[in-house]
Amino acid sequence: MQVEQRLWVARAVLGDEEAFGALVHRYTRPLAWFVQKLGVAPSSVEDVLQNTWLAAWQSLIRLQDGGKFTPWLYGIARNKARHAMGNPRDKTTVLNEETVVVDEEDDQDLFRDLYLPHLSIALDRISLIHREALILRFLEDMAYEDISAVLAISLGTTKSRIHNAKSALREQLEMIARER
């Protein structure tokens, strides 16, 4: 997918709307899930996505490396989501597990279906900075360097944040297991 993505990005930079449409098609669902898990209300997700795609289209020409499109796009989405939520930093936002939209046709969504009941509740209980780091690493399968770019933090801080996030998630999963 990396080569194909680079081609789409290169064509989109040159103004090819069809190539940009392919990027929109590829990333809209994962971005929607990501911004929902950051705490954006379901009724605002579409607005955040539209603002994300508009900003991406307007600034695509400045993207130096097409291979870095994914972390660049997620960084835009994260900023737009924070703006929509009033720019929370490390607020713990408990979400309703029903706010996550799951599409069973997608393999990633099927994985989420199997683990969603407990994992989603536990993710919703941890702080936003921990939640976004775990989502990017394990659900979006981003490399540490890309996560650092999305979150605008150093590589060392990224590794530390993911380590601490896993501990926080483990604690929440243990609490959920005791509750049931």
**What is d(CA 166, CA 134) in angstroms, rounded to the nearest whole number?**
7
Q: Is residue 103 predicted with pLDDT exceeding 90?
A: no
CA distance 176 to 180: 6
Using a pLDDT cut of 70, give the percent of the chain over it. 82
At residue 14, does pLDDT exceed 50? Answer: yes
pLDDT for position 35: 94
The answer, yes or no, to whether residue 120 has pLDDT greater than 90, is no
**Residue appearing with tokens 């307007």:** 58
Higher pLDDT, 74 or 173: 74
- For residue 19, pLDDT over 80 is answered with yes
Query: Dihedral, CA atoms, 68, 73, 79, 84, nearest 10 degrees?
Result: -170
Least confidently predicted of 2-6, 40-44, 127-131: 2-6
Residues for the chain: how many in total? 180
What's the CA gap between 103 and 119, in Å, rounded? 17
Question: Among residues 138, 107, 103, which one has the least CA distance to residue 122?
Answer: 138
Is residue 75 within 8 A of residue 150, CB to CB? The reply is yes
The domain segmentation of the chain, as residue ranges, is 2-88+95-179
Q: What average pLDDT does the chain have?
A: 83
CATH class of residue range 2-88+95-179: mainly alpha
Q: What is the mean pLDDT of residues 83-106?
A: 51
42 and 81 Cβ atoms separated by less than 8 Å: no
- What's the angle, vertex CA 131, arms to CA 5 and CA 138, rounded to 5? 45
Q: What percent of the chain has pLDDT over 90?
A: 53
